[in-house]
Structure 1
Amino acid sequence: MLEVQSAEITLRTVRDHVRWAASRFTEAGLVFGHGTENALDEAAALVSHSLHLPAQIPDLYWDARITDGEQRLILERVSRRIETRLPLPYITGEAWFAGLPFHVDRRVLIPRSPIAELIETGFSPWLDAVAVDRVLEIGTGSGCIAAACALAFPEAAVLATDVSTDALALAEHNLARHGLTGQVQLLQSDVFDAVPADARFDLIVSNPPYVDAEDMAALPPEYRHEPRRALAAGDDGLVVVHRILAGAAAHLSENGILVCEVGNSEWALAEAYPQVPFLWLDFERGGHGVFLLTAEQLGTI
């Protein structure tokens, strides 16, 4: 177990614990990317969650003293993060997406898609929010994209699919948490297999498995704790995306759009479909490899 006896003697304030945890994370060579990008932000996230404080710790609290019980929890979590290399959201049981908290565990991928930015703007200028009646999410996992879309389009019916019954059980919990079980329907489906043939949607959105074989082989330990089936997608990372592209046109309304994340497989996709005018989207908060296609453009595939 991580040596913490000296820490118990010298650490007193919120600031002390964040600084100490950040140093230990850096010393241990941890890898980030599940909601934070560096050791200091990870340490702050761990301490704030442990103390039931806001994600952004207010200045008022930085020099507040921590109780013995709070310290034990923080040190235990720091030790677990280092020794197991579990991503922090699996330790705290919570991740944030589009400004919303979601319960997460090892049944699902930890939410981190840049698609959150698009949802926050209602997919403007490509969609008129008040005209969106039906939304389909493929591969819902924790339900975070479906839930955020439901709140962005409060008059729309949302269908969220996943091949994993374990993931759907967790998504159901998260939808109930946000009062969305009446607006979002969950369906076990492998891509479009169980989606009604005559169903049409104004938006199809997906963050499917897209990690290619080379990147899978190089994944750091933190990412290997996530469900392999939610990451791995064959040699080129496009096994699932090919199926989405093949079926999307038949399920989009006349003015509908497909938004899909493919990450580092962006170049492989562009090479596989040189005739398709993928619109690759930019993000203010970082992220890449998300494309948009209209129903008309998909009809050319």
Structure 2
Amino acid sequence: MTTQPCDDLLTIRDWLRYACTRFASHDLCYGHGTDNVWDEAVFLVLRSLALPLDDNAVFLDARLTREERQRLAERIDRRVHDRVPVPYLIGEAWFMGIPFHVDERVLIPRSPLGELLANGLQPWVGGRSVERILDLCTGSGCIGIGAALVFDEAQVDLTDVSEDALGIARENIVLHGVEDRVHAIQSDVFEGVTGRYDVILANPPYVDAEDMADIPAEFRHEPSLGLAAGDDGLDVVRRILTEAADHLTPGGVLIGEVGNSEVALEAAFPMLPLTWIELEQGGHGVFLLQEEDLRQFVNHSK
């Protein structure tokens, strides 16, 4: 890396322009919180400087210190040459409009389950009381913590097989001040949990072998444990479907995400009454199952 950008680019506006130019001249893949060059540049530059993403025009012509300019030059270079996603470069990702700590121990939050949570899981839970929630394969904890903030009287368990991931989830529990209601548990699917839940939210690994072989370089910085799920992408989903009924209250619901493995799931379980949820903010492959339907499915499978 040359020192030229640090010498010539003095203001935030300069650095936003420079980042856009660098990003546009390389074949980058977006999808870790942004979907275009400008938003990617804004996210990297402003959050590297601990500035707000909105209402920031007052800062655009502020001059930066040499240390700040060197930090930006290094991070832009790493984004371009090493294809490191911006959330890993700054240690922060946003989900449901709130920040979460992230690093390469966890997937970068981007689940469309956030849209459902923002709507209080309506109409899916109706008027039922939601007292216990389980977030399976939690990673950073963003889904379960988001659920705790929406259902502000519910107890929420976050589970993951990875202790590394749970370390980040615990940081985020503290960040959002929900230590009294949200608990991180090491568990391989349901092995470490007890009792029943009104809602189970599952964002398990679901990338099939073909897609894993073709994923862009940016996604290879994420832990493969959180992505790869066998030849058809359903290795973990199968376990969830066969065990979930025993962990749901009567009338409880399982809401899960399988992304591109939606077709494989329908083909593997043609008799399962899956409700595929339409999403207004993008994304696909989110399904819902009622406790009764899951129980009947398990009984018929025996």
The TM tier, using the shorter chain, reads over 0.9
Of 137, 144, 147, which residue of structure 1 is paired with 2:145?
A: 147
Identity of aligned residues (%): 53
Between the aligned partners of 1:106 and 1:80, the Cα distance in structure 2 is: 14
Q: SS at the partner of 2:296?
A: coil
SS in structure 2 at match of 1:253: strand
After superposition, give the CA deviation of every residue in 1:214-269 in whole Å (9 maximum; x if it has no partner): 00000111100111110000000000000000011111111211110000000000
**1:201 and 2:193 matched:** no
Inter-partner Cα distance in structure 1 for 2:270 and 2:114: 28
TM superposition shift of 1:130: 7.0
> Separation in 2 of the partners of 1:58 and 1:283?
30
Unaligned runs of 5+ in 2: 298-302
**3-state DSSP of counterpart to 1:300:** helix
| 1:216 alignment partner in structure 2 | 212
* Structure-2 separation of matches of 1:298 and 1:55: 43
CA distance in 1, matches of 2:88, 2:55: 21
Instruction: Specify the alignment match of 1:228 in structure 2.
Output: 224
AA partner of residue 200 (structure 1):
R
Contact 1:207 1:261 in 2 (8 A): yes
1:125 aligns with 123
Q: Which moved more, 1:130-139 or 1:259-268?
A: 130-139
Partner of 2:23: 25
- Separation in 1 of the partners of 2:136 and 2:245? 14
TM-score normalised over the length of structure 2: 0.94
Q: Quick check: 1:271 aligned with 2:280?
A: no
CA drift at 1:294: 1.1
Question: How far apart, CA to CA, are the structure 2 residues paired with 1:270 and 1:67?
Answer: 55
Equivalent residue, structure 2, for 1:14: 12
2:163 aligned with 1:165: yes
Deviations 1:51-104 (A, max 9, x none): 221123533333433333322221121112122211111110011111221111
Among 60, 63, 71, which residue is 1:73 paired with? 71
Count of residues in Structure 1 that have an aligned counterpart in Structure 2: 297
Tell me how far 1:9 sits from its aligned partner.
Answer: 4.3
Q: What displacement does 1:128 show?
A: 4.3
Is the Cα–Cα contact under 8 Å of residues 129 and 153 in structure 1 kept in the other structure?
Answer: no
Rounded to whole Å, the distance in 2 between the matches of 1:54 and 1:297 is 45
Partners of 2:126 and 2:147 in 1: CA distance: 13
Secondary structure, in 3 states, of the residue corresponding to 1:76?
helix
Matched to 1:225, the amino acid is H
Is contact 1:15-1:63 (8 Å) kept? yes
| Alignment RMSD (CA, Å) | 1.5
Distance change (3 Å), C-alpha of 1:282 and 1:15: farther
Task: Name the counterpart of 1:187.
Answer: 185
TM-score, with length taken from structure 1: 0.94
2:176 corresponds, among 167, 178, 203, to 178
Q: How far apart, in 2, do the equivalents of 1:59 and 1:207 lie?
A: 37
Which of the residues 20, 45, 48 maps onto 2:46?
Answer: 48
Which runs of 5 or more structure 1 residues have no equivalent in the other structure? none
Mapped to 2, the partners of 1:129 and 1:177 lie a distance apart of: 30
Q: What per-residue deviation string (whole Å, max 9, x for no partner) do you get for residues 140-165 of structure 1? A: 11111111111111111111111011
